Amino acid sequence: MSLIRQMSVLLVLALSLALSGSLAVAVHSMREVLQDQARIKNADNAQALALAVSQQGGDAALIELLISAQFDTGHYQELRWLRADGRVAFARQAPQQAGQAPDWLRRLLPIEAAPGVAQLSNGWQAIGRIELRSQLTYAYDALWQGLLRAAAWSVLLTVLALLMAQAALGRIRRPLDELVAQADAMSEGQFVTVPPAQVPELRALTDALNAMVQRIKRMFEAQTEQLGLLRQQAHCDALTGLSLRKHFMAELASALARDDLPERAGLLLLRLQDLAGVNRLLGREATDQVLALLGQALQQYTGRVSGSLAGRLNGADFALFLPAPDVLEDSAQALAEALRLALQQAAGQGGNGALRLALGGAELAREQPLSQWFAQADEALAQAESSSQGALSMVLRKVEQGASRVQLPSGERAWRAQIEAALAQGHTRLLQYPVLDRDGHLLHWECPLHLGLAARHEATPDFVNAQTWLPLALRTQLSAEVDLAALALALELTRDDGQMRAINLAPASLQTQDFVARLRALLKSQPLAARQIALELDVSAAQPHSFDLLRELSRAVHPLGVRVGLEHAGAQLQRIERLYELGLDFVKLDRAVLLGVHEDASRAGFVRSLVIFLHSLSLQVYGEGIDDARDAQALLDCGLNGLTGPWATGHRKN
């Protein structure tokens, strides 16, 4: 029984006991008063009757007539004339009259009034005495009416007292409930404060807990800042702030494997020519300033273009990844203008004529291997270096894509028809990739969706992965329908084998008005299978524009036992100000953060700190795209709860 309920029961018992006692005392006092009044009435009536009888000159007939007349008034139960020798000279009796008072009251609270006695005389001669008893029916009725009034007032006062007590308990309970909610929120990684309690005894407690919440929040913020410093040390060049070569290569490989990017993209390489000569001419400090200006120009560009990546490959070489088709030339021209301004600024420091930049770029299909990307961009860069175009030379090339896997009809209307047909005809399937724990046991299946889309002039559909269908679904605003179809497939598979499955949801689906309601209804239709479902969204879903939508999704599906997590997470985590408010269950770290941790202590230190931070928020942490057994072991040693990728596929235990 809760504390408030125990207090309520104790209060009711105390009030009931107090008011019952008061009622009993009041009734007893009333009974005593009525007994005294009846006794006094008997005595007064006896004296009055004796005075009247004494004036009859001892005439027995007149005395009997007077006594009989007095008795007939109806207010007496018994009236007797006793002679001086004790014999009864005259007596009248009447049965006890019925009244409003119940019999149990007469038995429980009897009114016992002494009879009235008065001496009779004839002159100086005693002729006996008068004894009379009044009817007590009126006393019992008065006692009964008084009891009813007292009981009614007692009930009314009890109700009022209970209402006042309930209000007082509510005043105490509200801050207690707020403190319980605050503790529950803290256990889920949410740091909320409550208003100070009005109850003095609880005000100190709420103030202390609010202070503790603020301290913990500041601790997490400080830990987030520390993670940012560790990331900077592990992944970024100290001079330019750009990603180091190893991290840039890992980021680029991860970006090329993403499902939500178009099929073609661009890569630009930038080189400051004759770095050694520039260093001799300008000096080390001025040369560092030139390199920092180049890095700043690249960072400004990546800040404007979502999804772009910039890195410093070595002392004089820089790279820029452009995650969109047909923007290579425009982006290169815009970057060239920014670089010319950087050169002019550096020329004012004595570098005029000594600073020459070469810019080479290539646009390729995303399925091309990473070596081919750099081969094409390096060749363009070499041509730019050999040309004589002054301070900045640029060569761009577009490598035509080979035959596409599925030649779909062009146009949004045709794309929409293709996706709707695939969903209507059931041309959908889930692939399964294991996520394993330290011991090689299955934690859950990652289940990307393949859609069967019919090629141009072909009736038979060809199943394609999200790299093909997701951009089309986003363009045609069908991502929510596709995500619901994937969930339905996962529920069917889980219902059959009981294994946990994680499906991907597009962040754009959260923007659909009824998506969460339909998703929840689908989960509620199979409650047992729903408890083995996990929903994954790209880390971009936690950005400010969709933060509230993601939090709403978590709150909607958690009561059904569904887990929610972020995938492709990395440096973005430290930019999510209220990560602890999302109600997440797990985070999957991008392979760009994890690649090469076995041979790089700084990267391993960053990963270990990131895992500790996420574990402190009660989140499970998994690693994506692991293909090296040495990296896998190092990551497990860093505290990751599970891994996926080629390594996991080959190490699963039954």
Q: How far is CA 171 from the centre of its chain?
A: 25
Please name which of 351, 279, 272, 285 lies closest in space to residue 314, comparing C-alpha atoms. 272
Q: What confidence tier does 187 reach under pLDDT thresholds 50, 70, 90?
A: low
Q: How far is CA 222 from the centre of its chain?
A: 23
The three-state secondary structure class of 397 is: strand
- Three-state SS letters, 58-110: CCHHHHHHHHHHHHCCCCEEEEEEECCCCCEEEEEECCCCCCCCCHHHHHHCC
Which amino acid makes up residue 509? S
pLDDT exceeds cutoff 70 at 234: yes
User: Residue 38: which residues within 8 A CB-CB, separation 6 or more?
Assistant: 111, 113, 134, 136, 139
- The pLDDT assigned to 498 comes to 92
User: Residue 429: which residues within 8 A CB-CB, separation 6 or more?
Assistant: 449, 450, 452, 463, 489
Using one digit for the tens of pLDDT, what is the confidence trace for 33-56? 888 888 888 888 888 888 887 777
Report the first-to-last Cα separation within the chain, whole angstroms.
46
Please name which of 36, 40, 32, 31 lies closest in space to residue 116, comparing C-alpha atoms. 40
Using one digit for the tens of pLDDT, what is the confidence trace for 305-324? 777 899 999 988 999 998 88
Record: fold of 264-398: Alpha-Beta Plaits (3.30.70)
Interatomic CA distance for residues 328 and 398, integer angstroms = 9
Within 70-124, strands assigned E span 76-82, 88-93, 116-122
Interatomic CA distance for residues 453 and 408, integer angstroms = 8
Instruction: Identify the architecture of domain 3-159 in CATH.
Output: 2-Layer Sandwich (3.30)
Using one digit for the tens of pLDDT, what is the confidence trace for 408-445? 556 678 878 888 888 999 889 999 999 999 988 999 99
Interatomic CA distance for residues 275 and 397, integer angstroms = 25
- Per cent of the chain over pLDDT 90 is 22
What are the sequence ranges of the domains in the chain?
Answer: 3-159, 264-398, 412-651
Using one digit for the tens of pLDDT, what is the confidence trace for 327-357? 888 888 888 888 877 777 766 654 455 678 8
Pairing mode of beta strands 357-365, 392-398: parallel
CB neighbourhood size of 548 (10 A): 12
Which amino acid makes up residue 70? Q
Cβ-contact 351, 290 below 8 angstroms:
yes
pLDDT exceeds cutoff 50 at 403: no
pLDDT exceeds cutoff 60 at 456: no
pLDDT exceeds cutoff 50 at 13: yes
CB neighbourhood size of 405 (10 A): 16
Instruction: Identify the architecture of domain 412-651 in CATH.
Output: Alpha-Beta Barrel (3.20)
* C-alpha dist (Å) from residue 533 to 232, 507, 530, 537, 562: 36, 18, 5, 13, 5
User: Residue 442: which residues within 8 A CB-CB, separation 6 or more?
Assistant: 434, 435, 436, 499, 652
DSSP state of 368: S
Cβ-contact 287, 265 below 8 angstroms:
no
pLDDT exceeds cutoff 70 at 93: yes
Please name which of 222, 220, 223, 244 lies closest in space to residue 232, comparing C-alpha atoms. 244
Helix (H) / strand (E) element for 444: namely strand 442-446
Interatomic CA distance for residues 447 and 411, integer angstroms = 29
